[in-house]
Each structure stands twice: as C-alpha cells, then as structure tokens.
C-alpha cells in the first residue's frame, strides 16, 4: 500500500550485497533503512553476476582472507587461514568491482571489502597482523574487539562522519599494506593499522567508502561511525538511481 502512493512508476533503490557467512547482518542493516530499498544477494555460489546490472550500489561484505596471489604475493598464503580462503569469491567480487568502476556505482567496502578493493586498485595486504609485529585485531572471546580509530581531520571520511576520533569494533587479521592507486588511507588504529580508505580525489567521482570495522553490527548503531556511513551510502545509491532514470528517460 505504501508503495502505491508513490506512483505506479516508482522503483525501489536496489542495492547489491556480496554473499558471506553473516550475510543476514548486512541484509538487515541495509534493508531496514527504508521501505524504498531492495537488497539483492550477489554470490559466486549462485553465479549471478548479471544481477549487478540492476543495482544502484554495492556493499562488499566481510569474510574470507583474500588469496595473496591476487596481489602478487603467493608466498603469503602460509599466513592465511587455510580453511578461510575462497578464490572463486575473490574472482567474482573483483569482476563486480570492475563493473562498479566502469559504471560509477556507489561502493561501500566493509572489512574484507576494504581489503579486496585495495587489491583491486593494485595495492597489497598484510596477511596476518600479529606476524607483522602489530597488536591483535581479531575476535576477543568470540565477540568483536573494540578500539579507538583516528581519522585524518582533512579527509573526506572525517567530513562525512563528523568526528575524527571514535570507538569501533574489530574482527580481522589482515589489513591494507601498500595502498592501491587512486586511494588514500584516512583512518588508523592507535598501533597504525589502516582502518579507513577513500579516493585521493573524490571530487566529481562516484561514492567510495572503505572501512575496516563492521558498522552493520556495532553495538552503538547511533554512532556517527555507523549511522552517517549508512545514510551517505544509501543516499548515493538513491541519487544514482535518479540519474540513471533521467538518462533512460532521455
């Protein structure tokens, strides 16, 4: 009934979310924002790449370690969780990233999503943070660890969130090392592990927000490090839909 009031030609904002073991967390977080949103699961298991052509934006979710061969360091495989590597997923999502780039789709990368996008841009990863001499960023007693994040005051990310210091959740053992082309790191933990990345020059380009934390399951959903990110991403997707509709109308 609600949609009928919007007119028979109204179309929902369609957001693709990549598949993972905790897909429902991402689905609920995006879907619950408004009744005008439809979420599509994008999965290498379903091999439904064509569905991305219907999407107004993509969330790249968390999950498995990125296989080191994709960033030219196959020797790093020994540092990965051996039962937690999925090359088919890597390949599928790298194709999605290429499509997003070519078509200016808004992108939100979360945890693995940030890492994989950095690899897509030509960057590399730290395959195991403790082995590289830094503090553990993985789970703490089967729950997310929490720690401080510091954002570059002059960054796009800081202007989006409206804060430069906050508390975020943490559940990862890989992280960005060499930064990919066209990207800039804009947030770090106290021990200098990369926690956020963005475009070096975002002016006039499609929305790209990359975060190492998990906004979809942070305890404080009213935190700016959660709410501002979701609102900005969904707003960018809605705007993409309008612009696409205008182009088709002409």
Given a contact cutoff of 8 angstroms between Cβ atoms, the answer to whether 206 and 164 are in contact is: no
237 is annotated as an active-site residue: no
Residues 6+ apart with CB under 8 A from 174: 65, 66, 80, 112, 115, 125, 126, 127, 128, 129
Active site residue 167: no
3-state helix, strand, coil in the chain (%, to 5): 35, 25, 40
Given 44, 64, 93, 216, which residue is catalytic? 216
Beta strand 145-151 pairing with 183-189: antiparallel
Q: What is the DSSP letter of 16?
A: E
Tell how many helices (H) and how many strands (E) occur in the chain. Answer: 5, 11
> Is 61:19 a contact under the CB 8 Å cutoff?
yes
Spatial contact of 64 and 116, defined as CB atoms under 8 Å apart: no
User: Which candidate, 20, 33, 94, places its Cα nearest to that of 61?
Assistant: 20
137 Cα distance to chain centroid: 18
DSSP run (H or E) holding 31: helix 23-31
Annotated catalytic residue within 20, 111, 209, 237:
111
Catalytic hit among 44, 93, 214, 237:
214
* Residues known to be catalytic: 111, 214, 216
């Amino acid at each position: 009934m609600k949609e009928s009031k919007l007119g028979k030609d109204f179309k929902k904002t369609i957001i693709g979310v990549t598949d993972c073991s905790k897909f429902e967390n991402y689905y609920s977080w995006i879907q619950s924002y408004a009744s005008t949103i439809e979420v599509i699961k994008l999965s290498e298991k379903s091999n439904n790449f064509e569905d991305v052509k219907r999407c107004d934006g993509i969330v790249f979710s968390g999950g498995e370690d990125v296989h080191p061969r994709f960033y030219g360091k196959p020797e790093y495989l020994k540092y990965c969780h051996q039962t937690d590597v999925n090359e088919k997923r890597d390949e599928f999502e790298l194709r999605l990233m290429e499509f997003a780039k070519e078509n200016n789709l808004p992108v939100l990368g979360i945890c693995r999503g940030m890492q994989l996008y950095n690899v897509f841009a030509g960057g590399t990863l730290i395959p195991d943070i403790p082995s590289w001499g830094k503090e553990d960023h993985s789970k703490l007693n089967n729950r997310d660890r929490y720690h401080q994040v510091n954002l570059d005051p002059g960054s796009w990310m800081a202007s989006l969130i409206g804060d430069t210091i906050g508390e975020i959740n943490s559940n990862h053992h890989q992280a960005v090392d060499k930064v990919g082309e066209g990207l800039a790191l804009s947030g770090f933990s106290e021990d200098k592990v990369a926690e956020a990345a963005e475009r070096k020059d975002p002016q006039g380009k499609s929305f790209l927000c990359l975060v190492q934390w998990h906004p979809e399951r942070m305890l404080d959903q009213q935190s700016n490090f959660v709410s501002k990110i979701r609102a900005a991403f969904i707003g960018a997707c809605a705007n993409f839909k309008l612009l696409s509709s205008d182009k088709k109308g002409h």
